[in-house]
Structures are given as C-alpha cells and as structure tokens.
Chain A
Amino acid sequence: MSEIRSNCSICSLACPLILRGGRRSPVFTNASILTLDWDGSEDSKYGGSLCARGAAMVEFVSHPDRLNYPYILGERAPYEAAVKDAAKNLSAVKKEAGGDAIAILVGDNLTNEEAALALKFAREIIGTEKIALMAPDDVPLFRAWTEYDLSGLTAAGEKPAGERQVFLLVGDPFSEHPCTAKAVAAGKYAGRGNEVITISTGKNHSAWFANRHLACRPGGEPAVLAGLLKAAAAKSGASLPGGLGKLISVVEWNDIERLGGVSREDIEAAAGSMLGAARVETHLSNIFGRFGAPGLASVLAEAVTRICPGEAVFDAQFVQQNTWGIWSVLAGSGSGKALADIASGGVQAFVLLGIDPFSVFPAAPVEKALRDSKFTVATQLFRGATATGANVVIPAAALVEKKGTVSPSFGEDIIREETITPIAGAVSDGQFLTDLARAMGSRLEAAQVHRKTERAGSGESLSADWAGYAARMKDLEIADTVLIPWSEAVHAADGSISRNLFWSTVTCPGPELMVSGQIAGEMHLRDGDLVKVASEGGEAVLKVRTTGKLEGRTVAATIHFPSVRKLFPWKMDERHGEISLAPVAVTLGRQSEKS
C-alpha cells in the first residue's frame, strides 16, 4: 500500500495529511482502499491536526454520488462523444456570434496550471476576455489587497520590550478554520498578559476564547476596525498614508459607535493593548461576506496590524483553497470586470470549470445569464443543480486528486507531484481543456505558471467604499430584525461536505433559524416552531431554535442550505464585477406551533 503525503484541499490553510492506498479502480481490491492519517510530525502545520471537514476528505473523494461518466443532455455518454459534442456546439456559437458570446466561469477546483490553461483556452482558442473567477466569499479580500497599496504604512515607534502577544480575531476563524485555534490558544496561554481580542457579532467560538470581546452590530466589523485604526493612530501619533489617512480623519467617533455598536472606550482600550504588545497576530475569517464590507474590513485590519510597533502577522483566511492561486494567474486579464459583463447579457455559451454556480452561488444576475444561454458545458464533481441543467457534463477530478501547484493563503506554494488516482471515469480539468481544444482543431499546451501578486493602486477609493458601506448599514439600522449569515464548523463553505458527513445531519439537522432570547420572548416562540422569514431576496419557512449566542433583535441562519441562501439578495458590484453578501433586514411572521 503506497503512502502519499498530501494536503487537505478544502480551505486555504492546506493542512498536511497522509493518504494511504490511492490506486483506485472500479474493481474493489485491497490496493483500492483509501485511508487518511494526520501528519503528526512536530514541524507540520498546526501539529498536523485536521478539522471535521478535513477528516472527511476520504469520504468526500470516494463518495458514491460522485460522477463517473459524462452526460449529454442528461443521457450517459462516452467521454469522446461528450468532448466532440462540446467542441461542435462551442464552434457553432463562435462562428455565429463571435468568441465574445462565450464565457468561462472558473471555480476553486483548479490548480494554478489549469487556471493558466483555461486563460489560454479563452484567449487563443475561443477569443474571449470573458473569463471570471467566481468566489464571492474570497474575491473581495483579493481585490482589497491589489487595490489598496499599504506599502507606505510604517510601524509607530520602537518595538515594545517583553514577549506579550496579542491576537486579533475578526469574524469567526475558529469555526471556519479550526486548525488556527491550536496556534492561537497555545499563544494565549504561553505567557502572562497575552490577550485575544475578538471582533464579532454574537458569542461565536472565537469570542468564547476572547479576553476582550468587541461585540459589534451585525455587519459592524469594518466600523470597529476603523475605530481601532483611528485610536491607534491617535495614540501613537503615526501618520497614515493617502486614502487611509483621509478616511480616518473624515470618519467621526459617533459614526463608528453608531455603525459598529461598540463604545469608544472599549475600542481605545483594545488599541492600547495592541500598541503595547511585542507581537500582534491578526486572523480575518470571512465566509460568504458576512461582514458588511469584507474588502474594507480586510484593508483596515491589515493597516491596524501593521501600525503596531511589535512584530506584525496578518493572515486573511480564504474559504476555498486555491482561489488565491487562480486569482493571481488571472490577474491582469480583467477577470474582476468579466463577471459584470457576463451578467449584462449577450453570452450564448458557457464553459464552467470546477464550479457549481446553481448550488453554491445562486447569484440572480449570473443565474439568469446561465439560464438564458444556449449551451453549457460543465466539469462537475457531483450531480448537483448545475450538472442537471448543463448540456454536457464532464466528471471532474477533485483538487486532491490532481497534480500541480496550489497556493494556500500563507506560506509557500504547494507543488503536488504525487497524488491518488482520480475516481474511475473522472478527468482533470486540464486534460479536458486539452482534449476540447484538439476537438476544436487547435493545440493547447500547458503554460508555465508564475504567481503575480503585486500590490497596485493608491487606495484613494477607500472613502468611496466607506460611504457605500455606511449607506448600506443604514438599512440595517431601521430594520425590524437583522438576519446574520451563519456557518457551522462541520460544513464546507459550499455545503458539499455537509451532504457527505452523516453526523452533520445530527449536529445541524436542517435549515434552522437561530433567534435571540429577546425575539423569542416577544413572539412567544419555542424551539421547533415554524417561522416565515421574508427578506428582499425571497422568503423561507424555517424551524426556530433559541440561542444565547445572539443579542437584541437579531436572528441567524446557516447559509449552507439553498432555502436559506435565497434570503440573501446577491448584489453585483458593477465597478468590480463581484457579488457581495452581507447581513440583511428581514421580517418575521409566525407560521405554526411546533407539530
């Protein structure tokens, strides 16, 4: 039995793991048994532990629902026929309406090489610039990184003496990426005076560990971070460059307190603690844009970390593993704007690579464009909503089954030279693109991949972002009830893992609405009652569960279920072509008693 050292391919942390077996075939033999182990060696990341999602990697890649063969119009077909059919239809659309009528949507299930191949395929063979990375949860953070140049930012003053450490957690990194918990918890108890500061709505898992919990209003994280930066700059006398300085001088304390819901004294005390620490480490976790403005929050969090005179570590954790790598490969191709172009109409054919947009990101404008198209070819892992609707479906290899380069959120790129064989019948996206190009009469060669992640831009539009954020938060201020997008540790961001783990039905049995004690008291709700939730995006009937994690007039729902997801209106930002998802205003209506 062979032993393959690999990496978990669920999220951007890429924890090391060991796969045993790996020569998988349709015929069951001893060699085809696949098992998983933790890389428990001392030097491995976080001591080699895996979260619930990572531990289910074997279940995920060997799931009986995985696609084993291609489909043409819902009928099982041989691979060659499927490629030929896709090539014929794409060529017809190209001839009739030009290459611009074909769009390519790329998901996270690609290696850097495959992303480069997809870009080459779009430009050389199709002749279109409409190629976009679709990852609404991660893209705002990347955009903030590339658009706001923080290189002029310098630490204020001398490095404080001692070894005091401060950890700033924004959102809920312990739930989304539990592997970070080991490092943070060890650091918290490593010395006297070490502190964990958490900025979050409600008492989530990260807040449970906090010495200082800055409990903000729903969507108030960017406002609290702006307050931290303002307080830190005032206290240390540091000057902030460009748009950052302008923003901090314009934003008033009463605005910060109103939008963030945290008092000035608390924010100033937290800033003082960070300035006096010998080491400041920030973890920013953002699943499905749960902050009011994730890009803004990311820039402000990085700025406040780097202004601290101690050693500064900033880490924005992405939801999907290789979105950073794909983003950097597609950088400069106008990928950001492409999504808005696609949504504006005129696209007749789609190539979907490693993405299930109907199940995962039911963004109304993109969904409409997909429904209006004449022809869709998709590489899919499971027979989800996209696979049911696409004209040609190709069974795809999962990321952990592919050779190539992937880029985790921090640390070195991972070059996977050895891996398990894909499940029988599945082909990698790179192989499919090469075959498709050949069927269309061209040759496609694998490209050399370099990561290009240089900072650009001046950060002048920071105040425009703040104005947009403040305007959006006004809707929440006058709202009767605010619905917060929630997530559970056992669910992958796209919900795919939750379908595979049998106990996830025990821990999170279905789309539930968590309500605060206040609302439960006012509406006389008991656990199990049905409540109709209506928002701008749609409405749903959900079962109620009272929780102590929420305060005031707030409710929360787990976003991994399609019925919950439609409550959130997916807004397309025309300037950048990205989709945002933030807390929304809802109205509650009692439906029935517990049955």
Chain B
Amino acid sequence: MEKRIYINMNLCTGCRACAAACAQGHHDQGLLKHGAVEEVALMPLHCRHCDTPLCLEVCPQDAIMKDENGTIIRQSQLCIGCKSCIMSCPFGVMFMHSTWHVSPKCDLCHDRLEEGKQPRCVATCTSGALVFEELTELEKKHRHAAEGGRYFARWMLVR
C-alpha cells in the first residue's frame, strides 16, 4: 500500500494551515515550507519521497532509508548534519535545523498513518487542495502530471 500526497494547485489558497499543522505535530519544527510562485500564489513544498532519492544516495551515514511503503525516512540518531542531502535535493525541500544541527525531513506523519489517519497537512487542508491517495490511483487520475521527468515526483504539481 503506497499512498502519496497530491497537491492540486487550482485549489490551494495559500493559507499555510498545512505548515501550521506540520509544526504543531513535529515539536515545532515545521517540515514543510512554502514557496511563492510569481508573487501571486503560494505553494506548499513537501518532500516528494522520490523513487530514486538522491538524498539517500549521498548520505554518508546511511541515515536516510526507504521503508516498505516507499516513504523516505531520516533516522535522527545517525544524522551528523553534514548537509549533503540538503545540497543534493533537486526540489529544495530539505533544510537545516538551526539548533539541532541535523536535517529533519517529512515522514508522512507515520504516527498518524499507523492509526489509520491522514497526514497532518492533508487532514487540515482548508480548501481540499491536498489529497492523500493510493499511488496507483493518483497515476491513473493525473497521468499528465506523472509523465516524463528524471525524478518521478511523488508530490505532483498540476497547473
């Protein structure tokens, strides 16, 4: 069961509720950022949980791993804060924690997934722009977004 988050940019209002919810659930360290698109819209930037994750490839400590659901998870105990993953991320969604000297990343709220709930950002999305669905379903529905590209974006964008 591989489920991924899909963002429909036609619906995003840029209210930043997803960022608030993420920070609220991850001890005040928001793992989700916003990028301004041409000054007129805001877009949540999440980890796309790539098929061939560069962050995993470059990590010298093997702190980043892929679990059975295809979620890319960082193990905090192993991370030495070398920033290799941050530099390698093609989407620029990884960043440094200013005080802990490690690079935290999106874990798809696996604590909530175990309870059978949706990730925090999806559950609180105020306009229904974020959807959490089976990967196969998403590929069927949004084929144009899944086609092409070296890195298969699990967080797909349509506009």
Give the interface of A toward B (CB within 8 A). 36, 38, 40, 46-56, 58-59, 174-175, 178-179, 181-182, 185-186, 189, 203, 205, 208-209, 489-490, 501-503, 507, 547-549
Contacts and interface: CB of A to CB of B under 8 A. Distances in A.
A263 B44 CA distance: 36
Interface centre among A47, A49, A489, A547 (most CB of B within 10 A): A49
11 contacts: A36-B24, A38-B123, A51-B126, A59-B24, A175-B13, A181-B126, A185-B13, A186-B128, A203-B40, A205-B13, A489-B16
Given A205-B15, A489-B15, A182 B20 contact: no
Contacts of B30: 503
A116 B68 CA distance: 59
A174 B39 contact: no
Contact of A47 (B11, B23, B128): B128
B80 interface: no
B19 A50 contact: no
Contacts of A50: 17, 20-21, 124, 126
B34 interface: yes
B17 A55 contact: yes
Nearest to A488: B16
Contacts, number: 96
Given A58-B24, A59-B24, A52 B123 contact: no
Interface of B: 10-11, 13-17, 19-21, 23-24, 28, 30, 34, 38-41, 117-118, 123-129
B11 A52 contact: no
A179 B40 CA distance: 20
Contacts of A51: 15, 17, 20, 126
A182 B123 contact: no
Contacts of A185: 11, 13, 127-129
Contact of B28 (A40, A49, A502, A547): A502
Given A48-B123, A52-B16, 15 more contacts: A40-B117, A49-B17, A51-B15, A52-B15, A174-B13, A175-B15, A181-B11, A181-B127, A185-B127, A185-B129, A189-B10, A489-B15, A503-B16, A503-B23, A549-B40
Contacts of B23: 501-503
A55 B124 contact: yes
Nearest to B21: A55
A567 B34 CA distance: 30
A119 to B, nearest CB: 36
A72 to B, nearest CB: 35
B127 A182 contact: yes
A52 B20 contact: yes
A125 B117 CA distance: 53
Given A50-B124, A205-B15, A56 B28 contact: no
B35 to A, nearest CB: 12
Given A174-B15, A548-B38, A501 B20 contact: yes
A51 B16 CA distance: 7
Nearest to B38: A548
Nearest to B15: A178
A178 B24 contact: no
Given A181-B15, A489-B14, A547 B126 contact: no
B60 to A, nearest CB: 30
A501 B16 CA distance: 12
Nearest to B39: A548
B19 A503 contact: yes
A494 B126 CA distance: 22
A51 B40 CA distance: 20
Contacts of B118: 40
B153 to A, nearest CB: 23
A50 B126 CA distance: 6
A54 B125 CA distance: 12
B123 A49 contact: yes
B40 to A, nearest CB: 6
Interface centre among A36, A50, A175, A490 (most CB of B within 10 A): A50
Contacts of A59: 24
